[in-house]
């Protein structure tokens, strides 16, 4: 087992992953759409919210335990669904799912995963969540739902913000594919990633496990990219949500809600939770950060007297970020890149490390703010005005105007 004692923050894991993972897969993770402004703001906006330091408060017996969609969690952080995860590290979804279940947080499996629903179910003990992309091929989609049920998945995450795809320049320039095409550029880059190559040689899982062999016309890999581009359903609507909810019959989470109008629709749909998310800055470039969007969503859902939980993702790189999201009304959070950097750096151990880092930061920061139970944290831990100032969309320093 690698010694990870010197790894103390998510940024350490990012740096190691950057070194170890082939360029096209690292770039796929570490990028946002178009100008990447929303991607950057997701992180920088967290930094602009200031915390109130309290002293001489009894900080003994702290607890971060709570629930997300009725499931007990060791801290209010779940692993977000991410595509191509088995390309960051061989069998990556299985490693991440195992790290999550040992730590006591939920794991979400993407439709676009490398390991299939069945693969992950066979190699883990606890139920996980399945994330559904709604496809035009209804038979395939309904079959995916049945497969998730058969695998005992305990919630279905319906991703609502990817009916069309935000352009990420690097993916096009790198010719992103799973597995990578044997071009000279790729081969030269792979030669510098010996551990990744060795691990990949040890697994058969090199392409999209939920799709290849299950969807019409996708028997080989060459037809997959065109199939994906053609298959995401731009006609998805709230009526489909009701239909999918009936088909699934279990807990449902709607991911990608940013505006109060949509939040009200999500609450009325009877979802168990909604995730305030801009897909980690990978879809609508120019959208606000998720943290800037959450308070209006919380207010709108409260006015509906709905018990749909509100969660947040996009930009979480520390326990401080989690605490800020919780203080603004999130019942839980999800992390994408923070766990992917851990996975690319050290596989299952790296994901565990990422979770430990966030847990420790969250625990200590909560104590500094004078709380011992995560369930009692409210916006009274924030410096008054620092969030409102961020939400107003103004830069921190107004430019000086002469004349």
Task: Give residues in contact with ligand FNR (CB under 6 A).
Answer: 28-29, 42, 80-83, 110, 112, 131, 159, 255, 277, 279-280, 282, 313-316, 335-338
- Nearer to ligand FNR among residue 39 and residue 371 (C-beta): 39
The answer to whether 132 and 256 are in contact (CB under 8 A) is: no
- Nearer to ligand FNR among residue 28 and residue 248 (C-beta): 28
- Nearer to ligand FNR among residue 99 and residue 370 (C-beta): 99
- Nearer to ligand FNR among residue 176 and residue 298 (C-beta): 176
Please give the C-alpha separations between residue 291 and each of 161, 255, 296, 314, 403, in angstroms, as whole numbers: 17, 15, 10, 8, 36
The answer to whether 9 and 359 are in contact (CB under 8 A) is: no
- Nearer to ligand FNR among residue 112 and residue 153 (C-beta): 112
Surface-to-core class of residue 31, CB atoms within 10 Å of its CB (0-12 exposed, 13-18 middle, 19+ buried): middle
Please give the C-alpha separations between residue 203 and each of 88, 92, 197, in angstroms, as whole numbers: 13, 11, 10
In angstroms, the CA 120 to CA 142 distance is 19
In angstroms, the CA 101 to CA 350 distance is 14
74, 95, 206, 279: the active-site residue:
279
Surface-to-core class of residue 32, CB atoms within 10 Å of its CB (0-12 exposed, 13-18 middle, 19+ buried): buried
- Nearer to ligand FNR among residue 22 and residue 83 (C-beta): 83
Using Cβ positions, the residue closest to ligand FNR within the complex turns out to be: 336
**What is the smallest separation between the CB atom of 102 and ligand FNR, expressed in angstroms?**
21
**What is the smallest separation between the CB atom of 106 and ligand FNR, expressed in angstroms?**
13
In angstroms, the CA 79 to CA 84 distance is 14
| Paired tokens of 320 | 């401080």
**What is the smallest separation between the CB atom of 314 and ligand FNR, expressed in angstroms?**
4
**What is the smallest separation between the CB atom of 242 and ligand FNR, expressed in angstroms?**
20
**What is the smallest separation between the CB atom of 277 and ligand FNR, expressed in angstroms?**
5
**What is the smallest separation between the CB atom of 210 and ligand FNR, expressed in angstroms?**
10
**CB 156: neighbour CB atoms within 10 A?**
26
**What is the smallest separation between the CB atom of 317 and ligand FNR, expressed in angstroms?**
7
Determine whether 279 is an active site residue.
Answer: yes
Q: Please confirm whether the linkage preceding 179 is cis (ω < 30° from 0).
A: yes
- Nearer to ligand FNR among residue 178 and residue 370 (C-beta): 178
Please identify which residue in the block is written with the tokens 């790729």: 186
In angstroms, the CA 390 to CA 403 distance is 27
- Nearer to ligand FNR among residue 29 and residue 377 (C-beta): 29
- Least Cα distance to 158 among 243, 228, 66, 224 occurs for 243
The answer to whether 323 and 362 are in contact (CB under 8 A) is: yes
In angstroms, the CA 130 to CA 145 distance is 9
**What is the smallest separation between the CB atom of 218 and ligand FNR, expressed in angstroms?**
17
> What's the per-residue H, E or C state across 341-400?
HHHHHHHHHHHHHHHHHHHHHHHHHHHHCCCCEHHHCCHHHECCCHHHHHHCCCCCCCCC
Q: Which residue numbers are catalytic? A: 279
């Amino acid at each position: 087992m690698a010694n990870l004692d010197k790894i103390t923050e998510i940024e350490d894991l990012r740096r190691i992953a950057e070194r170890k993972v082939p360029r096209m897969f690292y770039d796929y993770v570490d990028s946002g759409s178009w100008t990447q402004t929303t991607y950057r703001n997701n992180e920088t906006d967290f930094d602009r919210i200031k915390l109130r330091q309290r002293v001489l408060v009894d900080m003994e017996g702290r607890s971060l335990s709570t629930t997300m969609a009725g499931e007990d969690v060791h801290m209010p952080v779940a692993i977000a669904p991410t595509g191509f995860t088995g390309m960051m590290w061989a069998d990556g979804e299985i490693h991440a799912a195992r790290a999550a279940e040992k730590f006591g947080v939920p794991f979400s499996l993407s439709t676009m995963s490398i390991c299939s629903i069945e693969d992950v179910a066979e190699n883990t003990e606890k139920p996980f969540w399945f994330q559904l992309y709604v496809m035009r091929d209804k038979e395939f989609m309904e079959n995916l739902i049945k497969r998730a049920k058969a695998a005992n998945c305990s919630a279905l995450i319906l991703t609502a913000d990817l009916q069309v795809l935000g352009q990420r320049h690097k993916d096009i320039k790198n010719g992103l594919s799973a597995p990578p095409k044997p071009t000279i550029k790729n081969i030269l880059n792979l030669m510098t990633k010996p551990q990744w190559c060795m691990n990949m040689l040890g697994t058969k899982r090199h392409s999209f496990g939920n799709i290849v062999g299950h969807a019409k016309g996708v028997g080989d890999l060459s037809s997959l990219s065109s199939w994906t581009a053609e298959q995401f359903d731009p006609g998805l609507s709230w009526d489909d949500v009701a239909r999918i909810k009936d088909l699934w019959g279990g807990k449902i989470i709607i991911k990608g809600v940013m505006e109060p109008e949509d939040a009200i629709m999500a609450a009325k749909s009877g979802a168990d939770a909604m995730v305030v998310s801009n897909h980690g800055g990978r879809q609508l470039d120019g959208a606000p950060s998720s943290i800037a969007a959450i308070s209006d969503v919380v207010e709108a859902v409260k006015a509906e007297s709905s018990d749909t939980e509100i969660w947040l993702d996009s930009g979480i790189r520390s326990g401080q970020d989690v605490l800020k999201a919780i203080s603004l009304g999130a019942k839980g959070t999800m992390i994408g890149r923070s766990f992917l950097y851990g996975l690319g750096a050290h596989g299952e151990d790296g994901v565990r490390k990422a979770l430990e880092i966030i847990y420790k930061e969250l625990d200590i920061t909560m104590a500094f703010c004078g709380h011992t139970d995560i369930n009692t944290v409210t916006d009274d831990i924030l410096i008054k005005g620092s969030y409102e100032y961020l939400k107003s969309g103004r830069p921190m320093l107004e430019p000086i105007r002469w004349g």
